Amino acid sequence: MNFYDTRETRPPEARERELMERLPAQIAHARAGAPAFGRLLADVEPDSVTSRSALATLPVTRKSELLEMQKAARPFGGFAAVGWGSACRRVFASPGPLYEPEGARPDYYRLARALFAAGFRAGDLVHNAFSYHFTPAGSMMETAAHALGCTVFPAGVGQTEQQLAAIADLQPNAYVGTPSFLRILLDKADELGVKLSFTKAFVSGEAFPPSLRDAFAARGIAAYQAYATADIGLIAYETEAREGLVVDEDIVLEIVRPGTGDPVAPGEVGEVVVTTFNPDYPLVRFGTGDLSALLAGASPCGRTNLRIKGWMGRADQTTKIKGMFVHPGQIAQVVRRHPEIVRARLVVDNPALNDRMTLMCEVAGGGSEDLATAVAASIREVTKLRGEVAFLPNGALANDGKVIDDVRTYA
């Protein structure tokens, strides 16, 4: 069997119908079980949210906002629907600190699907080089491997020579961890004259360029990557097609313009926003802060879900100009005031070490002096700073998700 289950190959319209049918109950559950969503979604009628357009009207909760709300109401800021006890097996702390619950369900983070696509099968011995303390990465991988019927060696991070000794004794055929630590193990093994037994690897947590993938392949290790977070679990995963990352079956993924909740056109770079069906941590329209873009068409591997290009940078482009913070949401607010603007980007430079803002605007049919004056007034009103305006033809701005481009130098 080449697929984890038949859901991966079902017609896209059947998947979309099922996801939309599940939405109302999850939104009702979030409102009733998680106090923060009880407030955020108080005016939302759950039964009305049965389409992506309806979902797009709900507020986005971004990771930075979640952190501040957790600080005000420990431990979870009112976003979890579980407390201490049998329903919450573990609690983890990501940098911030940001706390995440782990529920009692098998494969809580839904990563078994991604491990299966990477070739992991029952009977494999998995060397798990992700951390087992504070952050959930070690548990994320272990629970997924157990769901597939694998045995796990909980190696954790560091202690390279001790890890190599265990590998020599146990002969694990599979590795999970960061790609950089796998490279460290391989280099140290060469230095000590040890041959590693890995034939497959599942990597995450860092960039995984094709050059490193090919270097592992040359050593006989087929390595695949996934995009997952502590809050959401699996978001998307690589398959043998090696063409983007296939979205998980149990989330609704949107790509929105940074600083807003507005979905972008297919193929345009924007922020990854995810709605999960996790009953314990029912995040609705959670802004990951990561940039990506949808790929057109279905994967050649036969999986029919949406695909994304992978991680393409961070969406939080807030910058300080003349002592004032300027946020992507403020730029979106300016653009909304002027329907003539198709796309815009605020470029910040500092000629003669003096900060300068220029709003680069793609305008259908070209701009006018009156429009430039009006846009400049909006910039001043929204940001409390003076800004210049420049008009560009449609398509002139790069499709990279940038709303604020800080190019200042201080040499």
Name the amino acid, one letter, at 186: L
| One domain for residues 34 and 138 | yes
Mean pLDDT of the chain: 94
Answer yes or no: is 362 within a domain.
yes
pTM above 0.75, yes or no: yes
Is 331 domain-assigned?
Answer: yes
- Give me the mean pLDDT over the 108-132 stretch: 97
Residue 335 maps to a domain: yes
76 inside domain: yes
In this predicted model, what pLDDT tens digit does every residue of 140-150 receive, in sequence order? 999 999 999 99
Give the CATH number of the domain where residue 377 resides. Answer: 3.30.300.30
Q: Are residues 336 and 229 in the same domain?
A: no
Task: Please state, in angstroms and rounded to a whole number, the distance separating the CA atoms of residues 359 and 298.
Answer: 37
- The type of residue at 258 is P
Q: Which residue has the higher pLDDT, 223 or 384?
A: 223
**What is the C-alpha to C-alpha distance for residues 237 and 235, in angstroms, rounded to an integer?**
7
**Range(s) of the domain holding residue 331:** 319-406
| Residue position matching structure tokens 């959930």 | 136
* pLDDT recorded at residue 317: 83
Residue 280 lies in a domain: no
**Domain match, 191 and 327 both:** no
For residue 278, being part of any structural domain is answered with no
Residues 242 and 340 in one domain: no
The residues pairing with 275 across neighbouring beta strands, listed in sequence order, are 252
Bridge-based pairing of strands 324-326 and 341-349 is unpaired
Confidence of residue 320 (pLDDT cuts 50, 70, 90): confident
Residues 235 and 349 in one domain: no
3-state secondary structure of 285: coil
203 and 345 in a single domain? The answer is no
- Integer Cα distance of 142 and 151 in angstroms: 9
- For residue 316, pLDDT over 90 is answered with no
277 within domain boundaries? no
216 lies in the same domain as 359? no
Last residue of a domain, one of 199, 215, 247: 247
User: The CATH number of the domain where 41 resides is what?
Assistant: 3.40.50.12780
The DSSP bridge pattern shows strands 307-308 and 294-295 to be antiparallel
- Give 57-97 pLDDT, tens digit per residue: 999 999 888 988 999 999 999 999 999 999 999 999 988 88
Instruction: Judge if 146 and 33 occupy the same domain.
Output: yes
Is 266 domain-assigned? no
Report the number of distinct structural domains present in the chain.
Answer: 2
Q: Which pLDDT does position 319 carry in this prediction? A: 86
Of the candidates 84, 109, 96, which has an alpha carbon nearest to the alpha carbon of residue 230? 109
Q: What is the pLDDT of residues 240-265, one digit of tens each?
A: 999 999 999 999 999 999 889 999 99
Report the pLDDT value the prediction gives residue 198, as an integer from 0 to 100: 98
* End position of a domain, from candidates 191, 222, 247: 247
Which region among 147-151, 206-210, 237-241, 352-356 has the lowest average model confidence (pLDDT)?
352-356
Last residue of a domain, one of 205, 222, 247: 247
Asked if pLDDT for residue 1 goes beyond 70, the answer is: no
